[in-house]
Structure 1
Amino acid sequence: MHHFVARSFLFFLGTLVSFVHSKTDSPDVSALNVMFKSLNSPNQLSGWKDSGGDPCGDDWKGIKCSGSSVTEINLSDQKLSGQLGYQLSSLSSVKIFDLSKNNLNGDIPYQLPPNAQRIDLSENNFNGNVPYSISQMTNLEDINLSHNQLKGQLSDMFGKVQKLKSFDVSNNQLSDKLPNSFANLTNLITLHLQNNQFTGSINVLTDLPLNDLNVENNGFTGWIPNELKGIDNLKTGGNSWSTGPAPPPPPGVQHRRRPATEEKKSEGPKKSLQNGLIIAFSCLGGLALLLLLLLMFAFTRRRRSPPPSSLFLDDDKMSGRKGFTPLHSQELGAESYVGILKEPKDFKSMDPGNGDIKSLLKSPSMGLRRSVSGRVSFSENEFANRLKGRRSTSVQAVPYSLADLQRSTDNFAPGRLLGEGTIGRVYRAKYPDGKVLAVKKINSSHFQGQKPKEFSKLVTNVSKLHHPNIAELVGYCSEQGHNMLIHDYFRNGSLHEFLHLSDDFSKPLTWNTRVRIALGVARAIEYLHDVCSPSIVHKNIKSSNILLDLELNPHLSDYGMASFHLRTSQNLGMGYNAPECAQSSAYTLKSDVYSFGVVMLELLTGRMPLDNQRRRSEQCLVKWARPQLHDNDALAGMVDPALRGLYPPKSLPPFADIVALCIQLDPNLRSSIAEVVQALVRLVQQSTINMREDLSASCRTNDSEY
């Protein structure tokens, strides 16, 4: 009996010791396992494993922990090769991430440790661009990506990373102008941009607290701002600076600071005066504060409660709204989807005391209050009118002269042609100040003698539509028989180009970005179908009409043109049209849903809706895919090979289920677009739960991140 008790005690003690020893959080273990395999399982990383293990308890090389969480990864100068894997976003407690001075290649992953304070990936062979995930890393203080082979321009990604103190992308091949969001880096002390191909001015750096700035050997032009000339360590050689005196600043603009030497000289004489003033104003300030409090108390007693509509009066706050959160980093993290998960039902109260304007504006309906029918009329809804009034100073469609458009398009030269559709051709218009627009030149045959009146009605109707995921109308032209609509130009082109026309050097869309694009487009269609009154049927939804901005956010174009489509061939989008569209009168909202289902199939498979290069049984995407959508084993074989297996397997069946509901032959059996949006939201929410456990199962020996 005593032996039994002793053995039981020893067994319990051993189990307890084992439990205490195996302490590392499982998401951290999984992420490091994937990273180890992506680095080609190097022998020099002692303790590391490609499956399981305990990094914190077993002393893995370069790993430091706090409790059960990995907080530091320092593998500098370890002769490492390969890539970093796709699961870095799971390392949520990592503060220091240093893999400098190695031989790492490929793109820097979209998903970096989300809460890192210092990242050093310098002196490697990374190519591609600076990852947009930086835009969400609000704790980042120091990032060094120097001495790599990074290309392209710096995206406008610095609006939220205001803790950043040091940014180094020197010795790369980055180009184009500096992003305007640099101006938000109010704590930036060190900025190294030397030995790249940047162009334009450096005026955006004027108000930053820099004391170490190096912009040598680029293509910068203009003048070096006087505000920067007092920087202790300033290097500006090797650029094309303008000679002669700099132009004076605009009226009312004051210099932020003088050179540091001047400030120090004048500091002493002023100090005693400042101290005296401080004492005097402190006394006066106390009396003023007391008086202010009394006035506020008297005012609030007389003030009545504001009407509910006062919630929408703060146009300044609304003007800063971002409609669609980019999700290159932590794309399946709950915090990243906050901008697209909001449903109209989430906003139960319009009481200004309970409302949150920032949350309200993230709804696809942009806070519009619905009528009993569920629709909103632009003429009846106060907020819609206020929204239109607010946008009148920024994106209201303005008239352009024919001569202006002819100059900016080289007289509509073939080299400026972006594409041609059933309604007309689209040209690229470029202006001397760098502004680029897309000009849709509508074929005059579509107006049938009612040109001025009908085109004016078209412009009026389309200019009312405002949503984060539609390509909004910014201008128009109606002169000398020419009728043109003008939109912003999207540098990343269309979804069709990204999926079907990319070469081997292009960056394929990650699975998370594809889900985000699907949800964004669905939101746009929901806006047209359910928010606008009367409902707007698109009639030409296809991947070439889904434009992608620099952050790969989708913008649906060619909306509001349904009346023209009645006069054109019904084969608007070969492979996209629902079966009932053989008769134009049968086209309904559900026909749009069918077309959207085909777009989702493109995102899933990477295939074109019609492809004569494939064998006959696979030429029509819908016919080939429909029988396999509920076969989980077949789904894995349908996925776009460009993803290289990097997707959460459990997200495939629900995605395919949504597609199946969209492409039903009978329109009555198809889901409404609102139901599709809800299903995609559920998929996103489910993905945030399952990502950590699923991604580890989908990795391959040569895991990589795009």
Structure 2
Amino acid sequence: MEGQRRRAMAARWLWPLLLGIAGLGGVLQVHGQVDNLGFINLDCGLPESAAGYVDSVTKLRFTSDAGFIDAGTNYNMSSEYITPTMGRSWHNVRSFGGGAGTRSCYTLRSLVAGLKYLIRAKFWYGNYDGLDRAPVFDLHIGVNYWTTVNISNANTPVIYEVIAVVPGESVQVCLVNTGSGTPFISALDLRPLKNGLYPMANATQGLVLHTRANFGRDDGVILRYPDDPHDRFWIPQSKRAEWLEVSTAKKVQNIDDDSFDAPSAVMQTAITPVNSSSPVVFSWDAEPSASNPDPGYVCILHFSELQPLPVSAVRQFYVTLNGQLWLGKGFTPQYLYTNAVFNSIPNHGYHQYNVSLNATGNSTLPPILNALEIFSVLPTTGITTATQDVSAIAAIRGKYQVKKNWMGDPCVPKNFAWKGLGCSYAVSSPPTVTGLNLSSSGLSGNLSSSFAGLKGLQYLDLSRNNLTGSIPDTLSQLSSLTLLDLTDNQLSGSIPPGLVKRTQDGSLTLRYGNNPNLCSSGDYCQPPKKKRSSMVAVYVVVPVVAVLVILLLSVLLICMRRRRQGRTSDNIKRLDEANIKGHNSLRFDNRRFTYSELVAITNGFERVIGKGGFGKVYHGSLEDSTQVAVKLRSESSDQGEQEFLAEAQTLAKIHHKNLVSLIGYCKDMKYMALVYEYMSEGALDEHLRGKDNTMKTLTWRQRLRIALESAQGLEYLHKGCNPPLVHRDVKTSNILLNANLEAKIADFGLLKAFNSNNDTHVSTARVVGTLGYLDPEYHATFQLTNKSDVFSFGVVLLEIVTGQRHILNDPEPTSIVQWVRQRLARGNIEDVVDARMRGDHDVNSVWKIADTALKCTAQKPGERPTMTDVVAVLHECLELEAAHDNVNAGFYTPGSGGIMNDYGRYDTGMSTDLSQSSTAYEQEHLGSVSILSTGPAVR
């Protein structure tokens, strides 16, 4: 609250100052856009019947917000607060009554999933309700808390801005009544951003604007579109008593792949200290809250040299944070090129952040600063309701025009779950809708097929409505449904046979009384006894026939097995076993070993080098001294002949440098074994966990290469095989390393083939794999896709980053996916990185891998990347790591191609200050200025 009070005071100081400049003839134009470029500009509270309009100064086209929300009441601002220069979008508001705990949400649609967006929410109370009591309430973006809106007084406009990755094709902005006044909103903006901008904003964290300053201007001009194509507000900052202003009329260029795209008009002005021996100093206070007691901050300093310097002149300075060097060497801005110094790892742990730019000993010129941005980090790790359930319940809401409180995510946060919905909240999977009570809700029309989309539904109460038409048979497909109440409606026709069968076997309670036209035709309401008898006959006859068939097949199988065993010799010439589903029988061209030969090459199975569900793996040596691994099936193994044939046939037929090579096989009476190349460095999990104390910790570059090679092996199975293959047991213990630490995928006993390249999934009779690596969708549906391997590989990537096991005791058993998500929510990648690497890694590549891993472990297969996508990211990260040793510290320059040097592209924790409050204002006419969001006053 203290931070909010300071911002309000600073806002009150700066607002009249800027208006005073306007009165003195200052040039306070606000540049506007010509084309919307995908922008959304909502005038909140503008009547739905009112036509949209183009602001005469900004050229921004505003529309009513009525099509984006179905709650709230329109009000006009009190006339005493309206001035001739005030932008039209401020004249009215939308207000949301309903009491504490009420959530009202805007839905911004037609977005691009996975793209970054800048979202601005604008508020000007203006005593619209005549209460003269400004409210305090919360803002959420999607299911994640964004900020607390604190309106200091009736004549203080405030703007809040966030940069976030939107996971779907829409995003919701919600106002939450916290019991401190009625929420309202004046306007809402959305701007698409290039995904390369602000790399610190990703799938797990957004950036909330604290300050954005344009130094060296005292004319009051807030630069935005078209000077800034992304329509960011750059607030002028100048302090003539302490700073000299420097400017140029020449264009300042951005480097290739610039991560911030600072506009030339902003970079054309700068400040230096009046006293050339003095530093440039900024500070700001941390602003903890109940939802974020230790906020992290990201700071971006923008530099450009604006004057051609004589040969003898040098401008070089250090950047320090709270007295510690941020950069390990002096920084020299480039002439007429944007340079940036920034941190991608948010800073934590300080009550106040003090940043200083100090000239180095050999510098002849003082420091320079052109612009500054400060953000606090917003965790965006909240898990939303299952996508299929969201789509189904949204369709139900739309069909029946359900109002209630049905806004935002249906189940999350728990205290805002939609009225009438029951939800399940599993630790490792998205919430799902398990109950729906729409009794006495005024529903009319037929029964929507969308109810069948709620696959986890356990009870459905549609009683006491005015529903008409027949009951869809699709409801019988809801396997979890135990109660269906349709009483007191106007339904007609007969009850579908699927529902009748469910009621007969006792799995469903069906209530359908007081539907006068229901069961007027057909036999399914009261099945005659003779039909029940005939069904009993069927239930008896079918099992008897089935038993006879099974007995017959068993006899045939025993005969065939005895015949086959009679033809087995010490040297097996070929394996003509029964086909494995998805594979044809094939000849094995690999070497055939007898059991006695295996005894010889393993020296009596002397040295065990591994153990799995199939049995033990032994070290062996062939006649030519070639080292091999012999995988011998144990008699007690749960895996039998089927798994043996699967692995043998697969390895005989597929070849890739990142898959282990089959050298030979043995099927000698009861003995079955595979002989494959020896991987001397063992399994990846041993290196990550330090099983052998003599093992050196893998470097980050070695880990990246191992990840890439493993990914290439899986990509080959998915894309290079016909039909495509799914491994089904991807884990770090099945990634083996040779003497050069080259990685190869092993253990193909659970491999499954698609019937054709066009198949989207394979249904399996049972779920197999390893707990902690299992795809939750596969586990729930028994439908296997190649995205099941992608999920498992995402877990492998998290193990590579963290060095932790796939299931941790923290202190209760926790999946590594959940463990990483929780820690990355704090915004610090170093909270999860394996400490044994001692910081020897490029932070940007680590972020990319962690982000990719979390995408791989998305709950829905369709939201996961392909292995081809993963391979591409790993290639890119290896390139970043290679550049890590060759480029400049914590900043980039035109010559660096946008990639940083030994400190990593994003240096360790820095933030900067602006001591100037930027409590947000925006007035979009001549003589009005918009001041942006939060922060201490420049001192």
TM over 0.5: no
Q: The TM-score by the shorter chain falls in which range? A: 0.3 to 0.5
Report the structure, 1 or 2, having the larger helix content.
1
Ranked by relative contact order (alpha carbons within 8 Å, sequence separation 6 or more), the top structure is 2
